[in-house]
Amino acid sequence: MIEEENRLTITRGETMVVEISKLDEKGSGQAVIWRKNEQGNPKKLRLTIPQTLLGEKVKVTVDKPERRRRKAMAEEILESHPERIGPACPHFEKCGGCVWQHWDYQGQIQQKTNHVKEAIKAQGFDPNLVRNTIGMDEPWHYRNKMEFTFAPDGSMGLHEQGNFRKVISLETCLIAGKEMVEAAMEVADWAKHHQLTGYNKDAHEGLLRHLMVRQSFATGEIMLALFATEGPEAHLKEVADDLVKRISGKFPQVKSLLWLENTQWADRTQSEKSHVLAGRDFIYDEMDGYRFRLWFDTFFQTNPTQAQKLVDLAIEQAQPKKTEKMIDLFCGVGTFSLPFANAVGELVGIEIVETSIESAKRNAKDNGIFNTSFLAKDARKGFDQVIEEFGRPELLLLDPPRSGAGGKVMRRIGRSKPERIVYVSCNPDTFATDIKELEQFGYVLNVVQPVDLFPHTVHVECVAQLTLI
């Protein structure tokens, strides 16, 4: 047994060899060490060791071994996993943007399939209903949105793995679109040239906080949104003008250059006042032949290649008919609503974020779709209202956040008895818990198709179909 092999007595700062027995929910390896307490009895210490794989033997040094759980970095890989590879990115060992660049992509895909199977098996479902995960032909430069952070010294990058107080300065990023990275590096050079300070989270001082970069892979349009603690007026006007000059001269595809004021202590990309330095305050994107307007705070799938597969799978599993009514729960800006609207008789979308609902309405109008209506309410209250006014739908699609829809929402869905339910999930564990609630109402799970939208990370999406018996 692996745990027996790691049974030993350790002292503070001792170096040892351990074997990785499993991977945790963040993708890091875990090992178990047994040690003796003051009474001489065995006590378990769980070690979390990032960038390791199942079965590997590694050398680590543990500080504070009296604790129950500690994190340590592998000092040497003594016996490596056969699927271990060299990371492609020079920042991988420190940057928190990816966790699995040391793992062959096919191994990542298999792990994600296993994760979904284990999640539904834990709730009593047949794991054989889970198909193999659909991966990417080219699992690099797939993201159409990135949020970079400024360090107090003004350098720009991503947070260190497991440490949101430290920013790793970047020269490149292999998961973001190439043009996005080039534009972001130009902003970083601009900040360095003018010796602009970054925001200090502890002292709550400094100018620059974040840079959000979005690009439509369909239209090529780019948005650069700079978040700062002050507006670009007065003493900052010259540096703002220089930013416009730099970006306009080198990146004509930037159609939206924004300066957004954020004085709140919360470390989020939010805005109290917006300034359009150049272009407009949104960019155009397209998916499945439909055009969408994206503002800085618009939620939109960040991997357009795989997101298209999600839409196609959802339609395939839903089997929509022109005679049917449909509810799109957690509809966002209408990513699924628009393609489904052309396949059903009438569709109602429900979403708690009012700006998203306004965008959904505008997107439907822009695309000449007039058999939709959208309601800005939370899922529970909105669902009750729609059922009362709209009646029982034959088809329901839900795409909830990582926390899932929750038991109360799922039971409401079950009581409304749509003939078919398509669940699009970004968290296999909450997905499995949610659909368990539907069994009591006579629903059966038919198929689960995982899709990899985030290569080199632990995240996996899935599309599932349930039918009413």
| Domain of residue 21, CATH code | 2.40.50.140
Whole-number pLDDT of residue 37: 67
CB atoms within 10 A of CB 380: 16
Q: What is the DSSP string of 344-409?
A: SSEEEEEES-HHHHHHHHHHHHHTT--SEEEEES-HHHHHHHHHHHH---SEEEE---TT-S-HHH
Whole-number pLDDT of residue 299: 87
Same domain as 245, residue 186: yes
Residues 20/31, Cβ–Cβ less than 8 Å: yes
Beta bridge mates, 421: 396, 466
Which of 143, 148, 149, 211 has the alpha carbon at shortest distance from 178?
143
Residues 347/372, Cβ–Cβ less than 8 Å: yes
Residues 154/191, Cβ–Cβ less than 8 Å: yes
Domain span at 366: 114-136+302-468
Same domain as 211, residue 314: no
Position 376 in a domain: yes
Q: Looking up tokens 């309405």, which residue turns up?
A: 361
Whole-number pLDDT of residue 63: 80
Beta bridge mates, 444: 467
Position 173 in a domain: yes
- Per DSSP, the three-state class of 418 is coil
Whole-number pLDDT of residue 1: 40
- Per DSSP, the three-state class of 8 is coil
Whole-number pLDDT of residue 460: 98
Number of domains in the chain: 3
Whole-number pLDDT of residue 307: 95
Same domain as 268, residue 354: no
Look at residues 287, 321, 339 and tell me which one is the last residue of a structural domain.
287
Helix axes 407-416, 428-436, angle to 10 degrees: 50
What's this model's pTM, rounded to 2 decimal places? Answer: 0.91
Same domain as 242, residue 190: yes
Q: Which CATH number fits the domain that encloses residue 415?
A: 3.40.50.150
Position 410 in a domain: yes
Position 104 in a domain: no
Same domain as 149, residue 132: no
Same domain as 132, residue 153: no
Q: Distance between CA 109 and CA 111 in Å, rounded? A: 5
Whole-number pLDDT of residue 101: 96
Position 149 in a domain: yes
Position 106 in a domain: no
Which of 394, 351, 396 has the alpha carbon at shortest distance from 373?
351
Q: How many CA atoms lie within 13 A of 12 on its CB side?
A: 3
Q: Which CATH number fits the domain that encloses residue 217?
A: 2.40.50.1070
Q: Distance between CA 62 and CA 408 in Å, rounded? A: 44
Same domain as 395, residue 360: yes
**Which of the residues in the chain have pLDDT under 70?**
1-13, 37-38, 64-66
Same domain as 453, residue 310: yes
Task: List active site positions.
Answer: 426
Same domain as 273, residue 225: yes
Position 395 in a domain: yes
Position 26 in a domain: yes
Look at residues 287, 311, 340 and tell me which one is the last residue of a structural domain.
287
Same domain as 54, residue 122: no
Same domain as 66, residue 132: no
Same domain as 330, residue 281: no
Structure tokens at 464: 């599932």
